[in-house]
Amino acid sequence: MLTMAVDHIGILFFPGELLWRVVGRISFPIFALLIAEGFEKTSNVRNYFFRLLAFAAVSQIPYSLFLQTANITSNKLNIFFTLSAGLLSLMLLKRLPRVYAFLGIGSIAVLAEYFSFSYGVYGVLTVLASSLFLRLRNAGSLLLSVLHILSTAGAFIFGNLSLQIYATLSVPILTLYNRERGRELHRLFLYGFYPIHLLILSLIWYLFR
């Protein structure tokens, strides 16, 4: 949450300073890992999925307002949609035969890109790679690093500059994760931090610009 907030503060208040955005690249891979872990440990994955979708709906207006405040023209859907798509992909992989699961995941990835989910197909694949990481640290670390690099290279090929290569900085941090429960925070705080901090940052901008 801290690295995400740093990223958004940089976007809004310090758009010309790269360091804020570099720190922010660490956040999404951590969220993706938590989705993969949540998938394995939740007692009701269906409720987990619909909870993510509910917060995706709640967060869209604050997200759009934040982008507008930052003078970013975009019709993107917020990160909760991406995390929901990643979780659904994991559900298909577990419940369907491999061929049908891969077809379903491919369709989800295409839809994530078509409907402009934040991080698109790369975001969905990062959740899947995080699931592998939980089982095979070395292979998962390599795959995550490759995904971050390919995302940056793909953006460059299409004429866009991307900072996502700095997401590789998250890999050493992820390797420190021991899969043990840490300090518990209230679920509403964990989910609500995203839309609330976007609203607060937008409000600060309008009040003190």
8 Å CB contact between 146 and 126: no
Structure tokens at 197: 């901090």
**Residue 28 has what pLDDT?**
97
Q: Is residue 56 part of a domain?
A: yes
Report which DSSP code applies to 78.
P
Residue 23 lies in a domain: no
Reported confidence tier of residue 182, pLDDT bands at 50, 70, 90: confident
- What's the length of the chain? 209
Given this model, what pLDDT does residue 162 score? 85
Residue 114: pLDDT over 80: yes
Within-domain flag for 13: no
| Within a domain: 61 | yes
For 82-108, what is the mean pLDDT?
A: 96
pLDDT at 53 over 80: yes
Q: CA 152 to CA 122: how far, in whole Å?
A: 10
Token code pair at residue 151: 């995302």
Q: Is residue 184 part of a domain?
A: yes
Specify the number of domains making up the chain: 1
Read off the tokens for 93. 């992989």
| 195 neighbors 57 (Cβ within 8 angstroms) | no
Q: Could you tell me if residue 11 is inside a domain?
A: no
pLDDT in tens, 117-174: 999 999 999 999 999 999 999 999 999 999 999 999 988 887 777 899 999 999 999 9
| Domain membership flag for residue 183 | yes
Residue recorded with tokens 């982008």: 67
> How far is C-alpha 33 from the chain's CA centre?
9
Domain that holds residue 116: 30-208
19, part of any domain: no
Evaluate whether 205 touches 69 at the Cβ level (below 8 Å): yes
Q: What CA–CA distance (Å, rounded) separates 59 from 4?
A: 15
